Amino acid sequence: MAKYSGVMKTIQVYDPAMCCSTGICGPSVDPDLVNFAAMLSQLKGMGVHVERFNLAQQPMAFATNACVKEILAKEGTAALPISFWDGEVHLKGRYPTHDERPGWFQAAIEKKEAAV
């Protein structure tokens, strides 16, 4: 994975096959997904362009992204989710931890400050 440096402008998340991206559907609520979805919503509010793709609902997005396609060919779906910051792989195989989330906001704040 590439080490990110610079100002975050876009986030793309390629999620595994699931019924929704919020984590509030199905028989049990996944708090990590709920927190991640809330974080992405906040980042959108800060001006970061956020896109999420669900393998079950948008398989062509996975097939048409060369990097995602290569990762899946080598590592399989265990590599999902894959998170990109400005086109570079930032995380794969997991969502950000509670301790990592402030770094996502810091990158977004730097974006906002650079625009001023």
Report the alpha-carbon distance of residue 87 to residue 80 in Å, rounded: 16
pLDDT in tens, 6-17: 556 899 999 998
Q: Is the pLDDT reported for residue 22 higher than 90? A: no
Letter string b/e over residues 41-77, b meaning 16 or more CB atoms within 10 A of that residue's CB = eebeeeebeeebbbbeeeeebbeebeebeebbeeeee
The pLDDT of residue 28 is 74
The pLDDT of residue 52 is 95
pLDDT in tens, 29-79: 778 888 999 999 999 998 899 999 999 999 999 999 999 999 999 999 999
pLDDT in tens, 78-100: 999 999 999 999 999 999 998 99
Q: Is the pLDDT reported for residue 1 higher than 50? A: no
Residue 6 DSSP label: S
